Amino acid sequence: MEDIIYISQCRIERQKGPARLAYLPAESEPVRFGVHGPIAEHYGMRPEQVAEPHATTLDYVVAAAGG
């Protein structure tokens, strides 16, 4: 078995509702996660309840897989 060469050190900070901050390696600022459009509706939120729409964790997973 080969030696482990990297272990990602991330921290997630839950804020209000679906809003979260992710502290990721090599990023000087935290990454904001939240909800928007159809995702917010899926969770029963009305558009006016989403003060600041942000990409969801699903959006980041899809972008990472495509990258």
pLDDT digits (tens, 9 = 90+) for 19-51: 999 999 999 999 999 999 889 999 898 877 888
| Cβ neighbours of 66 (radius 10 Å) | 6
Confirm whether pTM is higher than 0.85: no
What is the pLDDT confidence band of residue 52, given thresholds at 50, 70 and 90?
A: confident
Helix (H, G, I), strand (E, B) or coil at 66: helix
The band of 3, judged by pLDDT with boundaries at 50, 70 and 90, is very high
